[in-house]
Amino acid sequence: MKNAITMTQMMAASRKLHAEGRKFTHIGIGPMSRNLLRAALELAKEKDFPLILIASRNQVDSDRFGGGYVCGFDQKRFVETTDAIAEEIGFHGLCYFCRDHGGPWQRDAERAAKLPVEEAMEIGLQSYFDDMDAGFDLLHIDPTKDPHVNGVVPLSTVLERTLALIEKIETRRKALGMRELAYEVGTEETMGGLIDPAAFEDFIKKLKDALTAKGLPMPLFVVGQTGTLTRLTSNVGHYDTPTATTLSRITEKYGTGLKEHNGDYLSNAILLEHPVIGLAAMNVAPEFGLVETQSLLELAAVEEKFVDPAKQSHIKDVLARHAVKGERWRKWMVGEKGKASVESIMADAEDVALITKMCGHYTLEDAEVKEAVARLNANTSALGLDPVGYVIKKIKDSIDRYICGFGLYGTTSELIAAQ
């Protein structure tokens, strides 16, 4: 699909409308599954808001670097699949493809292997090149991970690597005559160096000065830490309204916008604050994956009551086994639980139930899980239900909570008109 306006134009129109008193905050949605893509596209069509899809390298990446856990997508298949769904449902609005947390060591395997600096930087760069070739609209330049650094990567190093990556990307873009790209910088890590407002502003000022000196574009978004932290199945952080307001004003001062990550599970009251504060955008992903898993488990509960046990999908047990053995739960657990053995987790029914809800979406492309979902759908369809429609509606409801809270209804038409 071809957008009527670029992402840079869209954000410029957003700032114009904000100045006129029309307040809203954009949302970046993690593409957790095909069902989620369909749900997001359907909702964007119904509610007329710009769809911003944000894919991490673990979710969607080049085949040469291991592909992604979301449908086995590389960048090209991700865009093509989304475009095909959009065509099928008649969506002709704004849809932007964005790289979330691109750069060196941003794949779990690269970090675990402790790849050398030069190799990690080159792989991160080549992944960005594949993003460009697939038609991505925005690249998040995030060199804040480094397995060779004990603790936080120094801001001077983050700045140096950020500039190097943007410069190489822009050089290639211009040489190939490609369309403009938008950028995002910074990180939400609670132990990172961009927590203090003074350090946050110093980073942006130095970045802007360096980019200007090289004739490079200022990023659309700078990620700042506002107190959000997603763990388990909730936001365990402490949202800091004064800090969020301060960081938002700082980004405005330098002609960019504050981007918040880890926005999953925030209360409706906090969501309503975002347009008032002036936050430009916020990312949400795990929450929507959890909603899809919960929907499957709700369908499974009906299946258990009305379908012959010999014909049941046993999706609950299959999801549980794959979710625990996949070990992706380690990053979401708190305390020592993240270091527990698979065997000890499997022996604790409460832990298994929690991890199944929290990490079931990571397993949806596993062959056994896909087979169980197909059987669940067949069984519940035979009962007169619409299982796929049910899952998609539940995901849409979850996304809609943010779209409503952020004041996004009708904004696509308004943004295009504001050009």
Domains and CATH numbers, the chain: 7-286+399-417 (3.20.20.70), 308-382 (no CATH)
More confident residue, 230 or 107: 107
- What's the rounded mean pLDDT across residues 48-61? 97
Pair 278, 245: CB distance under 8 Å: yes
**For residue 234, what pLDDT is reported?**
66
**For residue 333, what pLDDT is reported?**
79
Q: How many CB atoms lie under 10 A from the CB of residue 59?
A: 21
- In whole angstroms, what separates CA 403 from the centre of its chain? 15
**For residue 232, what pLDDT is reported?**
60
Residue 307 CA neighbour count, 13 Å, CB half: 23
Distance CA 367, CA 7 (A): 37
- What's the rounded mean pLDDT across residues 11-24? 97
Distance CA 72, CA 78 (A): 9
**For residue 181, what pLDDT is reported?**
97
The pTM (predicted TM-score) of the whole model is 0.94
The tens digit of pLDDT for each residue in 83-112 reads: 999 999 999 999 999 999 999 999 999 999
Residue 250 CA neighbour count, 13 Å, CB half: 25
Collapsing DSSP to helix, strand or coil, 288 comes out as: helix
Please check the confidence at residue 230 and state whether its pLDDT lies above 80.
no
Please check the confidence at residue 336 and state whether its pLDDT lies above 90.
no
Pair 216, 159: CB distance under 8 Å: no
- What's the rounded mean pLDDT across residues 114-127? 98
**For residue 233, what pLDDT is reported?**
66
**For residue 193, what pLDDT is reported?**
45
- What's the rounded mean pLDDT across residues 35-62? 98
**For residue 8, what pLDDT is reported?**
97
Please check the confidence at residue 205 and state whether its pLDDT lies above 80.
yes
**For residue 191, what pLDDT is reported?**
38
CA-nearest of 8, 25, 108, 51 to 274 is 25
For the chain, the average pLDDT equals 94
**For residue 276, what pLDDT is reported?**
96
Please check the confidence at residue 372 and state whether its pLDDT lies above 90.
yes
Please check the confidence at residue 166 and state whether its pLDDT lies above 60.
yes
**What is 297-355 written as a DSSP string?**
HHHHHHHHHHS-GGG---HHHHHHHHHHHH-GGGGT--GGGGG--HHHHHT-HHHHHHH
Q: How many CB atoms lie under 10 A from the CB of residue 378?
A: 14
Confidence of residue 190 (pLDDT cuts 50, 70, 90): very low
Please check the confidence at residue 192 and state whether its pLDDT lies above 80.
no
Please check the confidence at residue 29 and state whether its pLDDT lies above 60.
yes
Please check the confidence at residue 70 and state whether its pLDDT lies above 60.
yes
- What's the rounded mean pLDDT across residues 20-44? 97
